[in-house]
Structure 1
Amino acid sequence: MPPIQTEPARTPPPRSDRTHRRRRTPATAAAGPLPRGLRAAASRAWPALLAYAAVRCLGVAAVALRADGDDPSLGTMLAGAYDAVFYTHIAEYGYAAPMTGSCTVQGPLCKYAFFPLYPALIRGGSTLLPLPAAQVAWGVAVVAALLAAWGVYAVVERVADRRTAVVATVLWGIAPHAMVESMAYTEPVFTALCAWSLYAALGHRWVTAGVLASLAGLTRPSGSAVVAAVVLAALWALFTSRRRSASGEDRGRPDRTGPLLTAVAVAPLGWFAWFGWVGHRAGDWRGYFEVQERWGSTFDGGSFTLHRVADVFLKLPLNLNTAVGAATVVAAVVTFAVCMQQRQPVVLLVYAGMLLLIAVGGAGYFHSKARFLLPAFPLLVPAARALAAARPATMHALLGTAVGLSTAYGVYLMLVWPHSP
């Protein structure tokens, strides 16, 4: 794994200068033009992206080395299995075309459970490149995973520091079910859109935050998490701005009412548009929920999840994926409480809390709960802070052990576990 920091040693400036720089840098980054900010973020993020690429390549290589003649090919496992089959079929034939053998139980609207942005990207890529749709789907996911890792780094650096951001990026690359980040699934695209939307919101670029949140709402049903985060953050900023204007505190500052109201109006558009379209196709405003019920996915407030977590302690035998899923859910709940105690920005807390509520409150697919929590990267910040504060030898030893465990678990998910990761 690349070193965490590569800056050359230099004589530290006086304390007053260091303090001045710490206070000036975030403000400059927030006020500067977006392209300049992105260039600066890219120049600082390369160690994190290199480390992320290394751990993900290690995970894929381990699967390739452990596979034997009885297993599907590596290309099939990464780009042509489980949900990837539906996305490529939608990209090639659309939603209305029948899908023989795969929708026998869910009915004619079964493909409408899959949101449209990822298939649209696959279709666009297939139009431009002379490649099969499955290969394009995998390529889109890989590029999106790198953009997502960059977004994770950018957000965490903004709310913590560079070292913590690098560690958080690596942790995202080795989280439970991180193997999905190297597959033709929506998690990479979704996390990239959410991370950069949150980054824009933290920098008060409200129109950008709203547009990206709207696109995230066209990617997964849990897009409601980033929509809620951006809308609530924009409304709170609008409220505080009006209050300061009334008291004269904002005198001389530019009026942000327009961008804030634009974010509030634009952010929910994608999510509501898809629900409305599926309702129209089904002839019932509850159409999307009915499609999900046919897939065995409902919302019961957490009763199903609680019973499955209890089963880990009360029932035997137990498979590895159930144990990891239960541990991930419990750890996510505890970590969210720590995030609140550490006073993360409200926009991150709302986003992570909504994702946690959706994952824990949903009934069905317990084996995928850890995957559903992959986009909730703000939950990694407390662990990243602790590791970044440790001695380098301790940090590298712990991260190295975690990388090994994650790689082994990825092999288990791909070659042993018989269901979708």
Structure 2
Amino acid sequence: MHVGSVLTGHDTPVNAPEASAPVLRRAWTAVAAFAAVRALGVLVLAVWPRANGAGAHELLSARWDSLWYVRVAESGYDFTLTAPDGRVLSDQAFFPLLPWLERAVGAVSPLGPGDAGLLVSGVAGPLAAWGMYLIGHHLHGHRAGLLLVALWAAVPVGIVQSMAYSEALFVALAAWALYAVARRRWIEAGLLASLAGLTRPVGLAVAAALWAGAAVEARRTRHIGTRMLAGVVLAPLGAAGFILWVGLRRGGPLAYLEVQAEWGNGFDGGLAYAKFIVAHLGGWPVVLAGLGLIVGTALALWAYGVCVRQRQPLPLLVYTGIVVALALCSSGYFGSKPRLLLPAFPLLLPVALALSRVRAARAASVVAALALGSAVYGATWLSGSGPP
């Protein structure tokens, strides 16, 4: 089996050692590292003191967006909620794959939708780690792939990966779709991209990555095969199908944008986000939050610049660029910005590569410190006013 230049950056096809049995077995070290970091996060959350009386199980399965997914799983769409400020919030803002899976799991088990959502995330997280490892291994070897997974599990908002949210499911689909692009498995990549598009609006970033990979391959080979064409066509169908369905239900082709606008979400090039940051630079202690936002945003942009300078393959750059742009340039609940950046895992590749070149003990200590910090931050975050 051969892997083309789509996700290697080279013009000459190379053998695919990552598809071999030894490498697939080594991927379990990355899955185990992911599980260990996430178990630490859940354990710290379980013992963290809370004034509101909510237990770890409730925080992970039955709050904020999780409740919206549960309502869709139980009753379908068309639920609305009038916010205190008069906005009418519709459940049509939430894409359907996670509630569909919650309903399916509930149909074959005694689990309720919330617990089914936890199970979906519990399965999707390791699958995301596995696909992510294969991408990292393919580009930079075993240690880089392992560290990429560990770093992603240990990001400050990593606790979201253990919640009944759609992030773990989406990243699993995105990572495997990107890996399928690397292997020139166009139909598989298209199906996974379509499912990602049924999970979150940013699923279109996965479709765009596939299109970029197909363009690179078509230019290299001067040929567009039927399987490639099928993958290109399949990729956007999930997101487009749901958006069109909302349009039909609400009587307008742009109705989904109206639904998002009712939630206060829109794409304004980052103007609202910039105003939010400036508003947090005027006094103590909110200035700390403002400075933190500036540092976090600068780090994300710097990391993407490093990815470009290191010549990450075009599909990864396209995918990551769209995820970062949608996260930073949209208006909405600004506390969700870190969570919206969670799918941009290729931003961590330069850090993983740098750590892979130092002594194993030093790299392990860095990851351990990050994992502990993530666990404490996640417990503090979920035990506060939220939502993430």
Q: What TM-score comes out, normalization by structure 1 length?
A: 0.84
Output one character per residue of 1:213-262: Cα deviation in whole Å (capped at 9) or x when no partner.
011011001111111111122133223322xx6xxxxxxxxxx6111111
| Aligned ranges 1:9-408 → 2 under 5 Å | 27-29=15-17, 37=19, 40-68=22-50, 70-96=52-78, 98=79, 105-107=86-88, 110-242=90-222, 257-318=225-286, 324-408=292-376
Cα distance change of structure 1 residues 330 and 202 upon mapping to structure 2, 3 Å threshold:
same
The 2-side partners of 1:196 and 1:354 are apart by 18
What is the SS of the residue equivalent to 1:221?
coil
For the Cα contact (< 8 Å) 2:40–2:372, is it kept in 1? no
The 1-side partners of 2:38 and 2:193 are apart by 26
For the Cα contact (< 8 Å) 1:103–1:110, is it kept in 2? no
Cα distance change of structure 1 residues 121 and 174 upon mapping to structure 2, 3 Å threshold:
same
Cα distance change of structure 1 residues 168 and 287 upon mapping to structure 2, 3 Å threshold:
same
The 1-side partners of 2:99 and 2:265 are apart by 21
- CA shift at 1:88, angstroms? 0.9
For the Cα contact (< 8 Å) 2:154–2:367, is it kept in 1? no
Give 5+ residue unaligned stretches, structure 1: 1-23, 31-36, 246-255
* Higher Cα Rg, which structure: 1
| Further displaced range: 321-330 or 402-411 | 321-330
Q: Could you tell me which amino acid in structure 2 is paired with residue 401 of structure 1?
A: A
Cα distance change of structure 1 residues 38 and 151 upon mapping to structure 2, 3 Å threshold:
farther
Output one character per residue of 1:90-132: Cα deviation in whole Å (capped at 9) or x when no partner.
0011003x3567799553x700000011111111111111111
Root-mean-square deviation (Å): 2.3
Q: Could you tell me which amino acid in structure 2 is paired with residue 419 of structure 1?
A: G
Cα distance change of structure 1 residues 132 and 319 upon mapping to structure 2, 3 Å threshold:
farther
Q: Could you tell me which amino acid in structure 1 is paired with residue 243 of structure 2?
A: F
For the Cα contact (< 8 Å) 1:112–1:278, is it kept in 2? yes
- CA shift at 1:264, angstroms? 1.1
Cα distance change of structure 1 residues 290 and 283 upon mapping to structure 2, 3 Å threshold:
same
For the Cα contact (< 8 Å) 1:210–1:263, is it kept in 2? yes
Q: Could you tell me which amino acid in structure 1 is paired with residue 152 of structure 2?
A: W
The 2-side partners of 1:84 and 1:147 are apart by 21
For the Cα contact (< 8 Å) 1:79–1:184, is it kept in 2? yes
What is the SS of the residue equivalent to 1:185?
coil
Give 5+ residue unaligned stretches, structure 2: 1-11
- CA shift at 1:326, angstroms? 4.1
For the Cα contact (< 8 Å) 1:174–1:403, is it kept in 2? yes
The 1-side partners of 2:291 and 2:42 are apart by 23
The 1-side partners of 2:293 and 2:61 are apart by 23
Percent pairwise identity: 37
For the Cα contact (< 8 Å) 2:336–2:387, is it kept in 1? yes
The 2-side partners of 1:95 and 1:231 are apart by 31
Cα distance change of structure 1 residues 333 and 403 upon mapping to structure 2, 3 Å threshold:
same
Q: What TM-score comes out, normalization by structure 2 length?
A: 0.91
- CA shift at 1:277, angstroms? 0.8
For the Cα contact (< 8 Å) 1:156–1:164, is it kept in 2? yes
- CA shift at 1:335, angstroms? 0.2
Q: Does 1:420 align with 2:381?
A: no
Q: Could you tell me which amino acid in structure 1 is paired with residue 68 of structure 2?
A: F
The 1-side partners of 2:206 and 2:101 are apart by 20
Cα distance change of structure 1 residues 189 and 324 upon mapping to structure 2, 3 Å threshold:
farther
The 2-side partners of 1:104 and 1:124 are apart by 36
Give the equivalent residue in structure 1 for 2:4.
none
For the Cα contact (< 8 Å) 1:26–1:158, is it kept in 2? no
Cα distance change of structure 1 residues 318 and 189 upon mapping to structure 2, 3 Å threshold:
same
What is the SS of the residue equivalent to 1:88?
helix
For the Cα contact (< 8 Å) 1:304–1:363, is it kept in 2? yes
Q: Could you tell me which amino acid in structure 2 is paired with residue 95 of structure 1?
A: Y
Output one character per residue of 1:331-387: Cα deviation in whole Å (capped at 9) or x when no partner.
111000000000011100000001011011101221111100101110000111111
